[in-house]
């Protein structure tokens, strides 16, 4: 599967799938993509019907539907197998393509199968730096912001979401919500968390990052760069996370196929 095909799949998934998912508390802080539940329409009272119509409905409800179910299940199984084959071929074609780490890459990469995120971890001058990076690419926002002038598969490249925490042996914890794209590493928000109760509600978290003084914004960017969180990570992260998304997608398809077959 070429990068264009992968982009097309991501576009389809962004257009048809819900962007919310059961993430950790850290992820919920980072990704503000959840949607309020849409209330179901009320059922209107059924109109009065004739005894003959009621009898037809009764007979229809007694008709066996197993053949229709088997046909639908078999069709779904074939479609899933075809999709798995397509993605596996893409993975095989990329197997020999090496993803080069950025120069002086200081992080340990923690990648647990089945997770939609990876964690970059390092110690720095007595601090513990962790960056949770998500495959839940912000595709919907990218599509909404697209003006249609360059909406082709080859140019589609979703942003990468990251939550960075800086923790010292004692005292509060700094947390940054970041957004990677081709042009920059943007800090969307930052918070000072209570170490003993980091998930406390109704706590003052400071003004939006964009409202901070420009000199303070630049100083915070340099603060992260000194700890290894910088734009030079983008290309490596993008390739790594796209491949992880492919692997997790295959596992997800296989799990669905197993469910259909049982």
Domain contains 251: no
Instruction: Compute the Cα dihedral for 151, 156, 158, 159 and give only its sign.
Output: negative
Domain contains 161: yes
Domain contains 6: no
Range of the domain at 203: 108-139+157-233
Domain contains 47: no
| Higher pLDDT pick, 202 / 63 | 202
CATH number of the structural domain spanning residue 193: 3.10.280.10
Domain contains 89: no
Average pLDDT over residues 157-181: 90
Sheet order of strands, 185-193 included? 108-110, 117-124, 127-134, 160-167, 173-180, 185-193
Entry pTM: 0.68
Cα 210 to Cα 207: distance, rounded to the nearest angstrom: 8
Domain contains 83: no
Average pLDDT over residues 203-227: 94
How many domains is the chain built from? Answer: 1
Q: Is residue 108 within 8 Å of residue 122, measured between CB atoms?
A: yes
The closest of 245, 256, 215 to 91, measured between CA atoms, is 245
- pLDDT (0 to 100) of residue 79: 94
CB atoms within 10 A of CB 183: 8
Domain contains 80: no
Domain contains 204: yes
- pLDDT (0 to 100) of residue 64: 58
The closest of 1, 25, 12 to 173, measured between CA atoms, is 25
pLDDT tens-digit readout, 48-89 = 445 544 544 444 455 556 678 788 999 999 999 999 999 888
**Which residues on adjacent β-strands are paired with residue 192?**
174
């Amino acid at each position: 599967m070429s990068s264009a095909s992968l982009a097309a799949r991501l576009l389809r998934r962004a257009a048809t799938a819900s962007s919310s998912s059961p993430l950790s508390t850290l992820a919920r802080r980072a990704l503000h993509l959840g949607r309020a539940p849409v209330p179901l329409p009320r059922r209107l009272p059924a109109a009065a019907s004739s005894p003959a119509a009621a009898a037809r409905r009764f007979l229809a409800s007694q008709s066996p539907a197993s053949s229709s179910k088997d046909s639908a299940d078999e069709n779904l199984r074939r479609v899933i197998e075809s999709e798995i084959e397509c993605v596996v071929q893409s993975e095989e074609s990329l197997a020999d393509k090496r993803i080069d780490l950025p120069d002086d890459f200081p992080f340990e990469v923690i990648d647990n199968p089945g997770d939609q995120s990876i964690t970059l971890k390092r110690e720095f001058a007595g601090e513990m730096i962790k960056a949770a990076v998500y495959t839940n690419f912000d595709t919907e926002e990218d599509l909404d912001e697209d003006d249609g002038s360059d909406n082709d598969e080859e140019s589609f490249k979703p942003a990468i979401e990251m939550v960075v925490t800086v923790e010292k042996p004692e005292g509060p914890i700094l947390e940054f919500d970041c957004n990677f794209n081709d042009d920059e590493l943007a800090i969307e928000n930052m918070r000072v968390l209570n170490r003993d109760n980091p998930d406390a509600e109704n706590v003052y978290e400071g003004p939006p990052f964009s409202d901070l003084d420009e000199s303070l914004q630049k100083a915070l960017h340099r603060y992260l760069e000194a700890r290894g969180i910088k734009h030079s990570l983008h290309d490596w992260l993008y390739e790594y996370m796209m491949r992880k998304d492919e692997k997790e997608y295959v596992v997800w398809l296989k799990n669905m196929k197993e469910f259909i077959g049982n």
